[in-house]
Structure formats: structure tokens, C-alpha cells
Chain A
Amino acid sequence: MSAVTEAAAPLLDVKGLNVSFFTHVGEVRAIRGVDFHVNARETVGIVGESGSGKSVTSLAILRLLPYPGRVTSGGVTFRGEDLLQKSAGAMRALRGDEISMVFQDPMTSLNPVFTIGEQIVEALAVHKKKKGAREARAKAIEMLNLVGIPDAASRFGAYPHEFSGGMRQRAMIAMALVCEPSLLIADEPTTALDVTIQAQILEVMKDLREKTGASVILITHDLAVVSETCSRIIVMYGGQVMEEAPTRELFENPLHPYTRGLMRCIPAQGGAARERLVPIPGTPPDLLKPPAGCPFVERCGEAMRICLASRPVFYGEGRHRAACWRLDPEAPR
């Protein structure tokens, strides 16, 4: 097992994170020992199907887990500070300023009773970024321009319901970036949008990342989305990290059977349309009774007896690692 080594201290470092939801039917262990890091000015993709724990991870970083969720153990270090130890006030000051977030559904993520402008200015106001109302307004309009909203000055006073889905998501991105955060977490930012709009939003995000120098965590279930935007990809399943690698490396040489399964689910670009798409059979594990072994065991075509009994460790070299017993030197090829 080789640790992933980096020269400089990472911007964000998540270590051994465990998150549970204490529901009336019992403890749902949504995240079980997740490690990953994000370097400065880097875009990292977290990929997994629904229920894999990717969104919960991001909410845990911001300490915004909805009731009755709780971080049960592990650490989240941001710029050398442990976020889990911070006071509620200090954490609040950090949110939206240092780390901000874009959510999946732009239809419901904007407050319907306030104008787009008011909601962007609010982000500036709570972090005391701009002196006067006029200056804040100017900054908000500048951001709206930057995310490609035409005629931004006149759209400043519009309500969310007067915007289309794509426009709302642009406004969300403007709002998230208005305080110039060093880390942006985008949770399925394109899932709720039309395919043509998806590409535009991804373009806006890429463009803004270059302009502001922010690091980005892009959470998605769509490998195609991360392949174009991210330098490194983390594959999650059943509340655990399955594989992690630089994007090219992952696509050229996927180590984990789950990653390979995911790739068979996307149509090859430009290639002959002859190739068959192969779905992964079965459903994700029930995290109310988390499996003792590999969470993917019941859907895996290459499962061994050991996969059912104990949780695999990470194998791999350099910046590529995967948690699968098949990679063990002792395992049969």
C-alpha cells in the first residue's frame, strides 16, 4: 500500500472521514473511512452513483450535514486548520468566503422570494467584502457578467423564477464565486440541466477557475463530465473510495472493477456506435447494514471469497490507487 505523496501541503485534506445518519430505523453509515486531498488550483472530480456518499462528503466538509447526520470520526484539514474543531461562528465565516458550494438543482437552490441580485449581494454582505451598497451591486453585476448572463445590470433585480435553469445555475456560480473563495465544491452542477446547457455551465466553471485560481471539487455521477474538466478523479462507492488516479491514467488503465463497470456505461465518443453499453447489475449496498467486505462485492463480476470477508486495502503506485483484492500480488490473475 503506497500513500499518495505530494510535495506541498494540500489545500484540503480529508482523513478517515466517517459520517452516519442516526435515523429512527438505525444508524446509516453513509461515509466509511474516506481519505482524499485537493491541492491548490486543482480540479478534482468525485464520481459515483447516487447513494455512494459523494454529496454527503462535501456537506461534511462544510459542516452542513442535514439532521440527523453527524461526523463520527476523522478529520478535515483546510489550509492546515481542522475544520471539525472550529467554532460554529468561525466555520460560518469560512463558508461562502473561503469554501463555497454550488448545488445540483438550480430550480430549488435559489430563494424564490429574493431577487438574484439580493442573493449575490447577501454573500458579500455577510462576509463584509464591500463597503457600500453601490459597490456591492457593481461587484455582483460584474460576477453576473463573468458567468455569461447577458444584460447583467438589468437582470440584477430579477427573481429566480424569471430565469431559465441554465441562467439560474450561472447565477448560483456567480454567487458562489463572488467572495473569491479558494475552494469551490460543485455538487452535480449540471445534472438537472439540458445537455447543451451542461456543456456551457462546465465551460463557465473551467473559465472561472482559470481566472480566479480557485480549486474545484466537481461531484458527479457522469464520467464524461469529469473527463473534460478534472485533473484527478476519485471514484466512490458505498461510502468508500474505490479508486483514485489522474484523469488520463484512470481512463487508460482503470484498476477497479467498479471503475471499469462505470466506463462501460458511457458511450465511446466518436467511435463506431457498434460498441455495446454494459450496465452494472444490481443496486448499491444498504448502508444501514454496511457490508464487512468490499461494498461492491455483490455486483462484482470478479469477486473472490476474501471480498465478502474483509475490506480491501489500497494498492497502486504513484498517484494511482485502488481498493480491490484483485490487485493483491497473491490474487490469481
Chain B
Amino acid sequence: MTDRVRWDPLPPELQASEKIVRPSMTYLQDAWRRFRKNPAAMLGLTMVSVIVLLALIGPAVSSHSYWEQDLDRTNEPPSAAYIFGTDSLGRDLFVRVMTGGRISLLISFIATFVSCAIGVVYGGFAGYAGGRADNVMMRVVDIIWTIPLMLYAILLMVWLGTGLHNILIAITLVYWVNMARIVRGQVMNLKEQEFVLAALVQGAGSWRILTRHLIPNSMGPILVTATMMIPGAVFTESFLSFIGLGISAPLASWGSLCSDALGALRPYPYQLFFPAIFICATMLGFNFVGDGMRDALDPRLRK
């Protein structure tokens, strides 16, 4: 730069070029960027994807089926023909674990989705309405909340009887409470804030405020809670199946497979090992994803 030029006024386009240092991003783009930078979260996402994929295509690519018995080849250790070995009835354990995964994951996804829907509506309404309605609605939630979750699920299962859809109902009836509390708390917080007042001043109705302002702004905690609910539901399902209140043969879930393996633990530990490792991996994967999402969606960390 020559001596003369340096004292010239700065052309506006040069001045502006300094201005946009970082590209502007939407909230979700920004959250996704942070999520991707979190190695644990990405590991969790990979684990979850692999497990879901295995459960989806595993039974199809295997030459065995989950119910087909081969009484000549019972309790075989893992081999080329049976990569996870066989169980006490000569059924292929790999296919059984994958099919069990389908059941376990299906139950937890549906239960989570339905209980979220109930929880969001219930909690959203209670939080927005406030006053007496909120008081009564939350009393109900408090009562259910105080009863130990497992006890409640067990009673429901005894009452409903075992079976796939009953497990779904029991888990859903237990889990919606948590979501309702969280959504209510969020809505209570948000409805005091200025942007809601601004919407009110502009003439927005209650329904619009709830669906356009309050619930979308609570989406972060809702998503994180839902992500954490999935492994919780896997846990509950496998627990119920383990104590004999869940899925019954010939269908299998990870919990019932563990329960089946218990009797012959000493001679055939691998029969417990495989379903157990899938439960743990699923739990770990979803926990990592949930933690990563919490960090990524936390607006306080947004920079």
C-alpha cells in the first residue's frame, strides 16, 4: 500500500467485507453443526444406526428363521453356520437376537412416540391454562409420579396380561408422565416471556400461541427427553420380559432372550452375552445421542 492510498477513505464494500464473519445459520443447522463436532454423540448415532439396521435387515439376510428349531444342534457355540450359536432348542441365536431387537426397538419407539404425544398435549395444556386446571392435572401427574415406575408397569402387565400390545400400553401409560412434567415446566416458563406477550398483542389466539410459540420453543427439551426415553423403554421392556411379564415364545425380545439364557448360564454364557451386549450398546448409543443433543440444543452454549 502506498503512502498516499492508506489515508484514503475506506470504500464501503471493503468495510462491509469485514462484517459477515460467520455465515448466519438457522437454529437447527447450528445445533447439527455442534452435534457433529461431538465425537461421543456421533459415535452414539453410529451405534444406534448400526443396531437399527441390523435389526431391520438381519433376519432377512440370514438363512435361518427365529422359530425354526433344529433339535440335533442345540446349545452350539458360535460358529460359521451359527455366528451367535444356537439356543437350547437349536434355534439360531443371531436371528433371534436380531428379531428380538426388532421387537425391543419397535416397542420402545412406539411407546416413546405415543407417550410423547400424550405428554406434550397434557403438559402443554396444563402449563398454558395454569390455575385450577393446572393444579388438578398436575396432582394426577404427581400421584402417578410417586408410584415407582416398575411397580406400576408390573401391575398394569398383570392386569392386562402379557403380550406385545399390552407391553406397549403399559410402557406408554408409565412414560407420558415424565414428558408432561417437562413440557408443562417449559410452557410455564416460556409463557411469561416477552415474545408471547408480543404475539398476544398482535392478536394471536391461545391455540396459535401454544402451537406456534410455546411448543416449538420447548422442542429442545422435548427432543432430548424423548431420546432418553427410548433406552429407558428398552430397559423396561427387557426387564418385564425378564421377569416373565413380557414377550412370550416363540417371539423374542432382548429381555426374554436374557431370561432364557439365565438357566444355562454356566455352560453356555454366550447365550446371555449376545442379547445383553445389544441392550447395553443400545442404551449407550441413545445416551450418547441424548447427551449430544442436549449440548447441541442448549441455547446458552450458542455462540
Contact = CB atoms under 8 A, between A and B. Distances in A.
Contacts of A331: 7
B7 A282 contact: no
Interface stretch (B18-26, B224-232, B277-285): B18-26
A308 B14 contact: yes
Nearest to B37: A24
Contacts, number: 51
A282 B12 CA distance: 13
A298 B6 contact: no
Nearest to B8: A305
Contacts of B37: 24
A304 interface: yes
Interface SS, B side: loop
B303 interface: yes
B16 A306 contact: no
Interface in B189-235: none
Nearest to B9: A304
A332 B4 CA distance: 10
Nearest to B38: A24
B81 interface: no
A151 interface: no
B255 to A, nearest CB: 39
B7 A304 contact: yes
Contact of B6 (A23, A24, A304): A304
Contacts of A309: 1, 6
A328 to B, nearest CB: 8
B5 interface: yes
Contacts of B6: 304-306, 309
Q: How large is the interface on A (under 10, 10 to 19, 20 to 34, 35 or more residues)?
A: 20 to 34
A286 B21 contact: yes
Interface in B34-58: 37
A289 interface: yes
B146 interface: no
Interface string A291-320: 100000110101111111100000000000
Contacts of A308: 10, 14-15, 18
Contact of B10 (A286, A288, A291, A304): A304
Among B7, B15, B18: residue with most chain A CB under 10 A: B18
A332 B10 contact: no
A300 B12 CA distance: 11
Contacts of A24: 37
Contacts of A307: 10
Nearest to A28: B303
A298 B1 contact: no
A211 B37 CA distance: 55
Contacts of A210: none
B19 A25 contact: no
A298 B9 contact: no
A23 B18 CA distance: 22
B5 A305 contact: yes
A307 B1 CA distance: 12
A330 to B, nearest CB: 6
Among A308, A330, A332: residue with most chain B CB under 10 A: A308
A305 B18 contact: no
Nearest to B11: A305
A289 B303 CA distance: 13
Contacts of B1: 305-306, 309
Contacts of A289: 21
Nearest to B19: A298
A231 B214 CA distance: 49
Contacts of A325: 7
Given A282-B19, A298-B18, A305 B303 contact: no
Among B6, B21, B37: residue with most chain A CB under 10 A: B6
Contacts of B3: 330
B253 to A, nearest CB: 39
A154 B10 CA distance: 63
Given A24-B37, A298-B15, A298-B16, A305 B7 contact: yes
Nearest to A291: B18
Contact of B18 (A288, A297, A330): A297
B11 to A, nearest CB: 8
A325 B10 CA distance: 12
Nearest to A328: B7
Nearest to A283: B19
Contacts of A286: 21-22
18 contacts: A285-B18, A285-B21, A286-B22, A289-B21, A291-B18, A297-B10, A298-B18, A303-B15, A304-B8, A304-B10, A305-B7, A305-B9, A305-B10, A306-B7, A308-B15, A308-B18, A309-B6, A332-B7
Per CB-CB distance, the 5 closest pairs between chain A and chain B, nearest first, are A303-B10, A306-B6, A286-B21, A298-B18, A298-B19
Interface of B: 1, 3, 5-10, 14-16, 18-19, 21-22, 37, 303
Given A305-B5, A332-B7, 19 more contacts: A23-B303, A24-B37, A25-B303, A285-B21, A286-B22, A297-B15, A298-B15, A298-B19, A303-B9, A303-B10, A304-B10, A305-B6, A305-B7, A305-B10, A306-B7, A307-B10, A308-B14, A309-B6, A330-B3
